[in-house]
Amino acid sequence: MADLQDDLHTAAEVGRADEPYPQEAVVVGPEEYRPVSDPDDAPLDRARAVLAAHPVCDGYSGLPWTLRGLPWYDLDLGESAVDTDLPRLRQGQVGAVFWSLHLPDGHDDGRALTTTLEQLDLAQGVVAAHDAGLRPARTAGEVVDARNCGRVAVLFGPAGAPALGDSLSVLRSLHALGVRVLTLTGTSWAGPSGLTRFGEEVVREMNRLGMVADLSYASAPTIRRALVVSKAPVLFTRSGARDLRPHPANLPDDLLAAVGEAKGLCLVPLTAEQAGPTVRDVADHLDHVRTVAGPESVGLSGAYDTGSAHPQELRDPSCYPRLIAELLRRGWEESDVALLTWGNVQRVLRATAFTSHTAQQRRKPSTATIVTLDG
């Protein structure tokens, strides 16, 4: 990542447990831990205590598309037709979640923008209809505000790059409507050969706007070039460790190391296909990413309501404390758990906003087109 990023990472932005943001809740102290009679329950009890101070920021949920197919639902009381509802989010101590606007495989790209806008409209309507438990958020500060008000913050994105129709004007319009993450795959300018000149301009315009680049499922050349071009941290919303499980969206160690050097963030998905069938398999991926990329470059992505199979112990968002308990059993420090669940996503959001503020002082909205740059 470019040199500007060197100015972005203060201790407060990282969000370690021993240096919380002033506006956030106070870290739960040992005296508040619920006493346990069974020693085997101690890690789960500690996990709930850590999550009370540093809740989960879930990096990927497919709920908007799933709700499209339901004639009626009630997320406040609970909804058996989906993986995610407010009771389960509260039980899992989820404080924020990214709602995907991706289109299913095989969907007509000719209507990509229309369908993306329909999903965004539905998602915003769902949040408005459940305002006692959900609150829309666009910035790190709004995420914290929602949490302090007892709501789950909902961030809209990632959206798919085909929705742009190769237009930077559409990119700016999506950002104005609240989309905060864009996946750089499925286009001529972000393909197997990497980013074209227009693709690089898209990344620069995203930096100026304050939109995060998602590189899960992107080609290795696209990933490497985006890490160089982007002045803001990049996300991998659904990527584990390829050395542990050879899935196309999982990252090999050399790319994980590059992500760590660029202060990017790899969100490990809680799916059986990418991480494995047990909670221990998911923890293995988190251990591996933390070792290779660093503790500031690993996060969580439930990937619930995407049609994917999940590990038996992690069937829905209410099960997050079980995963955190497994990490504590393995000797994870609570400060590193706090980064995993909350601090790392906050850092990326704050750094992206800082980069946007700086870039807007230096450049005007881009008027480049794919024809002029790529021919």
The sign one gets for the Cα dihedral 355, 117, 299, 319 is positive
Q: Is the peptide bond before 158 cis (omega within 30 degrees of 0)?
A: yes
DSSP letters along 297-319, please?
Answer: GEEEE--BTSS----GGGSSGGG
CA–CA gap between residue 4 and residue 286 (Å, rounded): 28
- Give the residue carrying structure tokens 């996946």: 183
Instruction: Output the tens digit of pLDDT for each of the chain's 375 residues.
Output: 544 444 433 333 334 334 333 333 333 333 333 444 445 568 999 999 999 999 999 999 999 999 999 999 999 999 999 999 999 999 999 999 999 999 987 676 678 999 999 999 999 999 999 999 999 999 999 999 999 999 999 999 999 999 999 999 999 999 999 999 999 999 999 999 999 999 999 999 999 999 999 999 999 999 999 999 999 999 999 999 999 999 999 999 999 999 999 999 999 999 999 999 999 999 999 999 999 999 999 999 999 999 999 998 999 999 999 999 999 999 999 999 999 999 999 999 999 999 999 999 999 999 999 999 998
| End-to-end C-alpha distance for the chain, whole angstroms | 27
What six digits make up the tokens of 227?
Answer: 């890490």
At residue 176, the pLDDT reads 98
Amino acid at 42: A
What stretch of H or E contains 182?
strand 181-183
CA–CA gap between residue 211 and residue 135 (Å, rounded): 19
The strands making up 152-156's β-sheet, listed across from edge to edge, are 56-61, 94-99, 152-156, 134-136
172-185 burial by CB neighbour count: b if 16+ within 10 A, else e? bebbeebbbbbbbb
205 to 3, 35, 232, 364: CA distances (angstroms): 17, 52, 11, 9
Q: Is 1 strand, coil or helix?
A: coil
At residue 193, the pLDDT reads 95
Q: For 12, phi and psi rounded to 5 degrees?
A: -65, -35
Q: How many CB atoms lie within 10 A of CB 280?
A: 14
Q: Is 50 strand, coil or helix?
A: helix
At residue 294, the pLDDT reads 98
SS3 content of the chain, % helix, strand, coil (to 5): 50, 15, 40
CA–CA gap between residue 102 and residue 159 (Å, rounded): 5
User: CB under 8 Å to 330, separation ≥6 — which residues?
Assistant: 283, 287
pTM: predicted TM-score of the whole model, two decimal places: 0.88
282 to 67, 84, 87: CA distances (angstroms): 27, 20, 24
Dihedral (Cα; 366, 259, 195, 104), 10-degree rounding? -90
CA–CA gap between residue 49 and residue 34 (Å, rounded): 8
Q: For 155, phi and psi rounded to 5 degrees?
A: -105, 140
- Give the residue carrying structure tokens 């659904």: 238
- Give the residue carrying structure tokens 């500031």: 296
What six digits make up the tokens of 243?
Answer: 């050395």
- Give the residue carrying structure tokens 């201790």: 11
Query: 368: phi > 0 → left, psi -120 to 50 → alpha, else beta; which?
Result: beta
